[in-house]
Amino acid sequence: MNTIGFNTLLKKELLRFWKVAFQTIFAPIVTTLLYLVVFSQALNSRVSVFDDIEYTVFLVPGLVIMAVLQNAFANSSSSLAQAKITGHIIFILLPPLSHIELYLAYTIAAMVRGMIVGLGVLIAATLFIPISIHSFAFLFVFALASSAVLGTIGIIAGIWAEKFDQLALFQNFIIMPLTFLSGIFYSIQSLPAFWQFVSHLNPFFYMVDGFRYGFLGVSDVSPWYSLTFVIIAMIICTGITLVLLKRGYKLRQ
């Protein structure tokens, strides 16, 4: 393993979002908290989810994992797409870095950004809403695995996109719909049977539901089933990404 090269690329990716923290860290935290304020004020007394759990308490874990997912994807996808479009991808491909080292550097940086934003949302939310943690192990594993999956999908999107419009298309027509329809703002048990079936086809649902179980101790499906699904998704996405990086698909043109 090229330790120096890997550490250098990882440091570059971490500094890339940290140097503009107001845009990459604080802005997403504020945006997510606005969701919390609007939905909690509008629906807290009108929506019932699980017994003895207020809607605002139910909402916080979903918003936290939403922030983790969206920012993990945004970090890796924007970094690769920008490198390709501006042409400085050549300086990443020239050093003797393997496809595995490239994958790990981009994915770890994406996970770090996602976890930082998610932690920021959680800290800010708990200042106003009392939240207890049922299982820290489930909480941590789902946050880690889910951010890895979205960071990996972000690499795929960055490799595929040849201009920022294509990256925005991937974000707005795939990531955003799957995120908002994953049960962040509601329990799928409140949906008709057909839409419950559709929700079970959404991989993001298992990330949200398992993460929420870590907080509340209740979930729409078994957390072990959700964890299995997320791990399978991570393996599949990782395999696809490693193949694309090894072949240099749309990177060495």
159 pLDDT higher than 90: yes
List all residues 6 or more positions away from 224 whose beta carbon is below 8 Å from its beta carbon.
none
220 pLDDT higher than 70: yes
Q: Which is nearest to 60 in space by CA: 138, 7, 124?
A: 124
In this prediction, residue 251 has a pLDDT band, given cuts at 50, 70 and 90, of: confident
Average pLDDT over residues 93-117: 96
Query: Looking up tokens 């390709």, which residue turns up?
Result: 84
Cβ atoms of residues 149 and 230 within 8 Å: yes
Count of residues in the chain: 253
Residue 30 to residues 27, 36, 60, 179: CA-CA distances in angstroms? 5, 10, 14, 18
pLDDT: which is higher, 1 or 167: 167
d(C-alpha 58, C-alpha 250), whole Å: 42
pLDDT at 47: 63
In this prediction, residue 69 has a pLDDT band, given cuts at 50, 70 and 90, of: very high
d(C-alpha 29, C-alpha 117), whole Å: 6
pLDDT at 43: 67
Average pLDDT over residues 62-79: 96
Tens of pLDDT, residue by residue over 178-200, are: 998 999 988 888 888 998 999 99
pLDDT at 132: 86
Tokens of 18: 């940290």
pTM value? 0.94
pLDDT at 48: 64
pLDDT at 74: 96
pLDDT at 191: 86
Cβ atoms of residues 142 and 227 within 8 Å: yes
Average pLDDT over residues 105-109: 98
pLDDT at 44: 63
Average model confidence (pLDDT) across the chain = 92
Q: Which is nearest to 79 in space by CA: 69, 88, 66?
A: 88
Q: Which is nearest to 228 in space by CA: 246, 203, 253, 250?
A: 203
What is the DSSP track for 37-98? HHHHHHHTTT---STT--HHHHHHHHHHHHHHHHHHHHHHHHHHHHHHHHSTTHHHHSSS--
pLDDT at 253: 64
Q: Give me the residue spans of the domains in the chain.
A: 57-247
